[in-house]
Structures are given as structure tokens and as C-alpha cells.
């Protein structure tokens, strides 16, 4: 029987992905002195959850339980009917909230990102058994979700680029640690690239911070530092623990920055 510890639940339910996106949206908005409405927060949070949960549901639905090695996929398989019902309910609610609370400009930006999310899901499910660079796609789409309701703002492209590299490091670290899980799923991505690539990206991200305003460099730098520490100690950590704390590292930077700005 699948045993899930209390600290795993946010990751199992994909709630952590939504919280991370909301934290970074709020953090990027502070230097721009932009007001982030409750509607945009709700739509972003629900949209991230829908994307992550759909990916897991499709992954689990096509494979027998014995091929699923991760706790999140096993849970999704065992509760797929309930999760699908929740997914459709959240989707309908999210659409209703978006059309009643977002501006035309925000709807247009959100619709463009939605098309990319649907395209990613279709390509990932179709090509992953051969090869699909899901880590790059997730990093770019996730970054797009964080900034989509803050546009237009030319000053955002610097921190957004650094964030995309940060998210890519996160995805590659998890992918490298979960190679056996991906092998059981017959998924082929960038996770088998040389470990030195992650170190190179960490250096590039650190150098990128020198070009940013301190208000953005601080949170990105804090999360990058946390990822580097985890990366250094990765061999000592079990896979499930590693995934949770690697994702949690992305919350450290924005959480500290938002507390400072209270």
C-alpha cells in the first residue's frame, strides 16, 4: 500500500507548483509597483495546477501501476477517477473566473499561454517515448505563466530569463535523480545529459544575477544557492525527499523577499 508522509502531500497533489508560481508572480511585481489582483492570482494558481495534474493523469492512465515508480504517479493512478472529476471542475471554475475578472489584454495573453500548454502536453505525450526536451519546455512555459499577467513590461525580460534558467536547473536536477522512474515510464528527455551541464547552468544563472536589479537578484540568488546546496548533497537523499526539497528551494527566494517587503 502506498504510504505518503505529510510533507509529501503538497507535491503529490501538485499544490506546491501553484504556490511557487504565485510567490514568484508577487515577487516580480514588487519592483514594478504593480498590483496583482486576486483574480489573476486565482487564475494563475489554478492554471498551473491544471497543467501539472493533466500531465500526471495522462502519464498514469497509459501505464499499469507496476510501471509507476514515483509516489505522485502511483497516487494519481489509484485515484484517477476522483482527480479527473476535480480537474474538470477546476477547469470550468477557472474559465468562469477568467472571463468575469480578467481584462481583454490579460485574456489574450492567457489564451496564448494556454495554446502553448496544450501543445506541450500533446507533444510530450506523443514524443516522450522517443525523445522530447520536456525540461526546457516546462521551464519556459512556467516562466511564461509567472509573467503573463505582469506584461507588458520590457524590464521583465531580464529577471524572466534568469528565472527560466533557474527553473531549468530545477527540472534537470529532478530528471537526473529520477532516471530510473523515467526509464520505467519509457520516457526520454534531457535528464541523461552530462551532470556538468547543470553546473554550467548554475554558473550562468549566477553571472546573470550581476545584470539584474537587486530586488530581483536577491530572490533568484537565494533559490539558486539552495539548489546548489541540494545538488552538492544529492547522493545522500532518497528520490522522493530530493524531489520535494528541490521544488521547495524555489520557494525560498520569493518567500524571504516578500517577508522583507512586508
145-175 pLDDT tens trace: 999 888 877 788 889 999 999 999 999 999 8
Q: Judge whether 167 and 143 are in contact, CB under 8 Å.
A: yes
Residue 187 has pLDDT above 80, yes or no: no
- Asked if residue 112 has pLDDT above 90, the reply is no
pLDDT of residue 70: 87
Most confident residue range from 177-186, 192-201, 212-221: 212-221
Whether 27 shows a pLDDT value over 80: the answer reads yes
Across 121-145, average pLDDT: 87
Distance CA 40, CA 210 (A): 30
Confidence of residue 128 (pLDDT cuts 50, 70, 90): confident
pLDDT(99) > 60: yes
- Look up the pTM and report it: 0.92
> Which pLDDT score is estimated for 11?
93
Query: In this model, does residue 240 exceed pLDDT 70?
Result: yes
**Short-list 183, 187, 177, 97, CA closest to 134:** 187
- The sign of the dihedral angle between the CA atoms of 191, 136, 174, 218 is positive
Architecture field, domain 7-260: Orthogonal Bundle (1.10)
Q: Which of 255, 244, 247, 248 is nearest to 218 (CA)?
A: 255
pLDDT value at residue 155: 82
Please, are residues 60 and 41 in contact by the beta-carbon 8 Å criterion?
no
Q: What is the mean pLDDT of residues 42-71?
A: 88
User: Which residue is associated with the grid cell 533559490?
Assistant: 223
- Which pLDDT value is given to residue 1? 57
Mean pLDDT of 34-60: 91
The mean pLDDT of 63-69, rounded to a whole number, is 80
pLDDT, position 173: 93
- pLDDT for position 243: 94
pLDDT tier, 40 (very low <50, low <70, confident <90, very high otherwise) = very high
- pLDDT of 26 strictly over 90: yes
Burial of 51 (0-12, 13-18, 19+ CB in 10 A): buried
Amino acid at each position: 500500500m502506498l504510504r505518503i508522509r505529510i510533507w509529501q502531500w503538497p507535491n503529490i497533489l501538485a499544490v506546491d507548483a501553484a504556490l511557487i508560481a504565485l510567490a514568484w508572480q508577487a515577487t516580480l511585481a514588487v519592483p514594478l509597483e504593480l498590483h496583482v489582483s486576486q483574480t489573476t492570482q486565482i487564475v494563475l494558481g489554478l492554471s498551473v495546477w491544471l497543467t501539472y495534474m493533466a500531465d500526471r493523469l495522462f502519464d498514469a492512465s497509459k501505464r499499469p501501476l507496476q510501471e509507476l515508480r514515483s509516489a505522485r504517479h502511483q497516487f494519481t493512478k489509484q485515484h484517477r477517477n476522483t482527480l479527473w472529476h476535480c480537474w474538470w471542475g477546476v477547469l470550468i471554475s477557472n474559465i468562469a473566473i477568467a472571463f468575469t475578472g480578467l481584462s481583454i489584454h490579460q485574456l489574450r495573453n492567457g489564451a496564448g499561454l494556454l495554446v502553448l500548454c496544450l501543445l506541450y502536453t500533446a507533444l510530450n505525450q506523443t514524443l516522450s517515448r522517443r525523445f522530447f526536451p520536456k525540461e526546457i519546455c516546462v521551464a519556459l512555459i512556467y516562466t511564461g505563466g509567472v509573467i503573463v499577467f505582469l506584461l507588458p513590461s520590457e524590464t521583465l525580460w531580464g529577471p524572466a530569463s534568469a528565472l527560466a534558467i533557474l527553473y531549468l536547473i530545477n527540472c534537470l536536477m529532478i530528471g537526473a535523480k529520477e532516471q530510473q522512474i523515467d526509464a520505467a515510464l519509457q520516457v526520454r528527455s534531457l535528464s541523461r545529459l552530462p551532470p556538468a551541464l547543470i553546473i554550467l547552468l548554475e554558473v550562468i544563472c549566477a553571472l546573470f544575477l550581476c545584470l539584474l536589479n537587486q530586488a530581483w537578484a536577491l530572490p533568484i540568488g537565494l533559490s539558486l544557492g539552495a539548489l546548489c546546496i541540494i545538488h552538492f548533497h544529492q547522493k545522500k537523499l532518497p528520490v522522493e525527499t530530493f524531489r520535494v526539497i528541490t521544488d521547495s528551494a524555489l520557494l525560498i527566494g520569493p518567500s524571504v523577499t516578500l517577508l522583507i517587503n512586508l
